[in-house]
Amino acid sequence: MTTKNFTLTLQTTQSPQKVFKAIQDVRSWWSGYYSEKITGNTKDLNDEFSFEAGDGLHSTKHKLVEVIPDKKVVWLTTYCNLDFIEHKDEWTGTKIIFEISTNGNSTELKFTHEGLTPTVECYDACAPAWTQYLENKLKPLIEA
């Protein structure tokens, strides 16, 4: 049996271009909770940025390793310190993938955190957190 990566799919009537633009605006959707901040660039291939939350409880660095306008964005996590678990570097080497496609009159955004599986320590905290960011922050940004 294979262990599945965390995946969440969102549907919208907005264009793939609008979805892509919202993904690139990381500060607008991956912040706002727990004294979070984003530093660095988040739009172009090879851009690097950092995310910090909870006064240092969660800090990560990401590099954009694939950017296909209106279709796909991939971040490689190059550093991770999750202070709330024993294996603090659990995200290092994982990929965060945004895939955009159309289905009839709707646009589908498939989010995958490759390496975030039910077998890793952070899964029970991180999967619900991703769901919260994607459904409560990114989707409203897309729909605005």
Domains of the chain: 13-143 (3.30.530.20)
Q: What is the pLDDT of residue 2?
A: 61
Q: What is the pLDDT of residue 1?
A: 47
Contact 19, 109 (CB under 8 A): yes
pLDDT, mean of residues 137-144? 96
Which of 62, 37, 65, 36 lies closest to 49 in space, CA to CA? 62
Which of 22, 8, 11 lies closest to 144 in space, CA to CA? 22
Dump pLDDT digits (tens) for 16-49.
Answer: 999 999 999 999 999 866 678 899 999 999 999 9
Q: What is the number of other CB atoms lying within 10 angstroms of the CB of residue 78?
A: 15
CA–CA gap between residue 72 and residue 59 (Å, rounded): 24
